[in-house]
Structures are given as structure tokens and as C-alpha cells.
Amino acid sequence: MGKKELKVAFLLALRSLQRGSRSSVLLTILIIGMCFTNMIFLPGLFNGIGQSITKQVVDYEIGNVLVSPKTGDQYVSDLSATLDLINGMPGVERATPHFSKGATLKYRQRMLGVTVRAIKPNDEKLVSPLYTKMVAGSYLGEDDTGEVIIGKPVAGDASVREEDEFQSSLGGVRVGDSITIDYGNGYVKDYRVKGIYYTGWSSADSAVYVSYTDMALADPRALDNADYVTVKTRPGYSEKFVKDELIQYGVSQKVQTTADLLAKSMGRALQSFAIINMVSLIVGIIITTVVLFIVITIKTINSRRQIGILKAIGVDQEVIMHSYGFQVIIMAVLGILFGLVLTLLMAAYLAANPIVTPEWSATLYLTPMDLIQNSLILFAASIVAGYVPAYQVSREDIQSAMRA
């Protein structure tokens, strides 16, 4: 095929689209666009949920790297030395310890079982965005004692009756109120509520935070121990790199990256997502292929006589075949562009209005590679769907075609 043949094929294709049935062209473009959106939306949403959960877990549970007690140990011991060692490693932004203890909160007539998490507030700030999630009052100070910050669901709403509550609460605690924490070991203390936070991550929102200094009063083991240490990596350093460094430089505890932990806890869910994504992709491709095949088949069957005439006046069958091929290419490109616009509009809408649940808030997570990959797959499917009927009809002998 030379340049002139391609030019004629393109002219025939363009004019057929411009001056043929516009409604069928628009409908085909619409269907391709919808198929593109269908192919990318569900996987994007699942990726969004995965990203959301991962971010929440990193932000409020385990950081980028989690240092936990080695098998047989109850705590990460020799905490000060361990923290110094970790904080001195290249690639470590900051390490912060957590010490949790089950307790009962009491406020007026309400009692509520919660986990009290002890943190070092200043270090925690460098690892977790908790301090940015205050909806009332303020964050903990480094050496605060007698002060607590509580999750919004724990504080509750005074206007909702206890029996109507979705989740048990203290029934409307406000900043400045006094609540009692009974640690269950005989240590009971009144705390002033310094702040109320809301992260959207139910595990964090169902807890209360006190300073390490305060926890050491309730449980002296907190003085130099931690349940675990969360580590935030510096930008440009991979979690794997930091994990290897920590092990190499003598952190004798169990060291795991987020990926290690999520693979264990979410492996099956991610596998299910991958299967659904694959099904969605295959269905999208099949729909697009079938639709385009039908559209081009109908077009070619309706144009059999014209195809015969074109061949009779000396237009080679390859030019005719490519003219239908170009029609498919043009419709596929426009359909994919339409699908891209639709997808990006939905992504923008979901970014502004995420799907929120107590565990995660999902947006559409799309990477340029996802968009390119899906575009190419759909484009290739369109070409196959268009060229097959075009090839069949263009090969028909002139007499049969002209008699049609």
C-alpha cells in the first residue's frame, strides 16, 4: 500500500463517516466510550479502595515499616536505644512507638470499652497525620498528663439516643469535659478531653490517645517498652531498602514493610479484585469487538454493490478494506477519547465526593499507564473487529458484489 492508496482509503472512510448515517456513527462512538469507561472504572475503583486502605493503614497503624516484637517477646524492649538506632538510619524520617492498653471509659452514666494508645506526640506528628485530623480542641503535647484526645465516634453525639446509636459512644463528650479511664489493673484516672479527632479510619477513630508519659503512670512497662514501633521512610527511599537497613544494622525485632503486611492481610481481597478486574476487562473487550464487528458488517453488507463498483473502476481491494479499517480507527479513537473524558470526569467527581465507608473512602485511582494500556487494548480489539468483515467483503468477486 502506497501513500496514494492510503490517502484514497482515508478519503473514502472520512466521507462515509461525515456523510453517512451520523446517528450510527455517534452511537458507535458512544458504545466504545462506554466500554472504555466500563473497562477502567471498576478496576480504578478497586485500586482506589486498595490505595485508600493502604494509606489509612500506613497513616494510622503501621507506617511504612513496622518494628514489632520478635517471636516469644511481648514488647519491643530497650525502647530508647532501639528508637535511637532506627532514627539514625539513612532513609528513616522518624520512628515512633505505640503502647496500647485495653480500658474502660466512663462519662456520666455511660461506660465504653476502648483501646488506649500511648504515643510520643512530637514523634507521632512526623509519622502520622493524626494531628491534622482534630475536629475540636487540640492535639496532645509531648509531656501532657491527665489529658486525652478521643475519636469522634467515641465522643458521640448528645442529640442521638443511646439505643439509636450505630456505634456505642460516650454520648456527647465535648472538649474540656472530664472522663474517667479505668485501665483494669486497678489504675483509674480522670482525664480532661483536650481534643476530638476524626480520621475516617475506624480503628483509629474508635481509640483514645494519651501521651507515653501518662501511660507510664498507668503501666510502668511503658517506660522503656512498646507494642510496636512505626517507621516513616524519607521520600526517595523504598520501604524495602529501609527494612533491609534496619535488619543489617542490628534491629533484632521483627521488621516488616507495609507491602509485607498487606500481602498477608489483604492478599485474598486483592486477588478477588484482580479477578473482577480481569472479568470486567474481558467483558468490555468482547462487547466492543462484537459491536464494532456488527456495525462494520452491516456497513459492508449494505455497501456491497458500491464495493463492487469501486473495484470495477480500478480501486484495489486493499484500498477498500483499509477504507473500512480507517472508519473503525477513527471511531475507535473518538470513542476512546470520549471514554477518557468520561472517566476523568468521574474521577474528578469521585475525588470531590469520595465513596465513604467506616473503613475506607474510595476515589478512582488511575495511573497514566492504566489509561494507555486500556486504550491500546480497546484500540487493538476495534481494529480486529473492523478489519475482519472489511477483509471478507472486499475479497468478494465483483459480479457477486455488484448484484447485491
Partner 1 sequence: MIEITDLTKIYRMGDVEVRALDGVTLNIAKGEFLGIMGASGSGKTTLLHMLGLLDIPSSGGIVIDGTDISRLNDYEKSMFRLYKLGYVFQDYALVPDLTVMENVSLTAMLRKDRTERQYHEASIDILKKIGLLDRQDHLPRELSGGQQQRVSIARAMVNKPDILFADEPCANLDSENSRMVLDLFREINEEMKQTIVMVSHEDWHKDYFHRIVRLRDGKVTSDDSKIAASS
Does residue 403 touch partner 1 according to CB under 8 A?
no
Does residue 173 touch partner 1 according to CB under 8 A?
no
Does residue 6 touch partner 1 according to CB under 8 A?
no
Q: From the list 259, 266, 402, 404, which residue makes contact with partner 1 (rule: CB under 8 A)?
A: 402
Does residue 313 touch partner 1 according to CB under 8 A?
yes
| Between 313 and 352, CB nearer to partner 1 | 313
| Between 361 and 394, CB nearer to partner 1 | 394
User: ∠73-77-79 over CA atoms, to 5°?
Assistant: 155
Does residue 311 touch partner 1 according to CB under 8 A?
yes
Q: From the list 51, 115, 180, 306, which residue makes contact with partner 1 (rule: CB under 8 A)?
A: 306
Separation CA 366–CA 234 (nearest Å): 24
Main-chain dihedrals φ then ψ at residue 117, nearest 5 degrees: -105, 125
Does residue 316 touch partner 1 according to CB under 8 A?
yes
C-alpha separations of 83 from 5, 24, 143, 169, 255 in Å = 73, 68, 18, 35, 13
3 state SS for 36-104: HHHHHHHHHHHHHHHHHHHHHHHHHHHECEEEECCCCCCCECCHHHHHHHHHCCCCEEEEEEEEEEEEE
Q: Which stretch binds partner 1 (CB under 8 A): 205-213, 248-256, 310-318, 329-337?
A: 310-318
Q: Which stretch binds partner 1 (CB under 8 A): 3-11, 139-147, 253-261, 329-337?
A: 3-11
By CB under 8 A, the count of residues binding partner 1 is: 27
CB-side neighbour CA atoms (13 Å) of 58: 16
Decide: 175 and 136 in contact? Cβ < 8 Å: yes
Closest to 144 (Cα-Cα) out of 194, 79, 219: 194
Main-chain dihedrals φ then ψ at residue 183, nearest 5 degrees: -80, -5
Q: From the list 30, 269, 309, 342, which residue makes contact with partner 1 (rule: CB under 8 A)?
A: 309
Q: Which stretch binds partner 1 (CB under 8 A): 2-10, 225-233, 244-252, 277-285?
A: 2-10
Q: Which stretch binds partner 1 (CB under 8 A): 137-145, 161-169, 187-195, 314-322?
A: 314-322
Q: Which stretch binds partner 1 (CB under 8 A): 149-157, 216-224, 368-376, 394-402?
A: 394-402
Does residue 398 touch partner 1 according to CB under 8 A?
yes
| Between 219 and 318, CB nearer to partner 1 | 318
Take residue 359 and report the three cell numbers written for it.
Answer: 473503613
Does residue 133 touch partner 1 according to CB under 8 A?
no
| Between 21 and 271, CB nearer to partner 1 | 21
Does residue 315 touch partner 1 according to CB under 8 A?
yes
Instruction: With both helix axes pointing from N to C terminus, report the angle between 368-394 and 304-312 in degrees, rounded to the nearest 10.
Output: 70
| Between 195 and 325, CB nearer to partner 1 | 325
Closest to 380 (Cα-Cα) out of 332, 311, 346: 332
The answer for 24, left when phi > 0, alpha when psi is -120 to 50, beta otherwise, is alpha
Q: Which stretch binds partner 1 (CB under 8 A): 4-12, 33-41, 228-236, 238-246?
A: 4-12
DSSP 354-365: -EE-SS-EE---
Q: What is the contact mask toward partner 1 in residues 8 to 37, using x (rule: CB under 8 A)?
A: x--xx--xx-xxx-----------------
Contacts of partner 1 in 318-347 (CB under 8 A)? 319
Separation CA 289–CA 380 (nearest Å): 9
| Between 318 and 370, CB nearer to partner 1 | 318
Decide: 86 and 229 in contact? Cβ < 8 Å: yes
Q: From the list 122, 145, 317, 373, which residue makes contact with partner 1 (rule: CB under 8 A)?
A: 317
DSSP 141: P
Binding region for partner 1 (CB under 8 A): 2, 4-5, 7-8, 11-12, 15-16, 18-20, 305-306, 309-317, 319, 398-399, 402
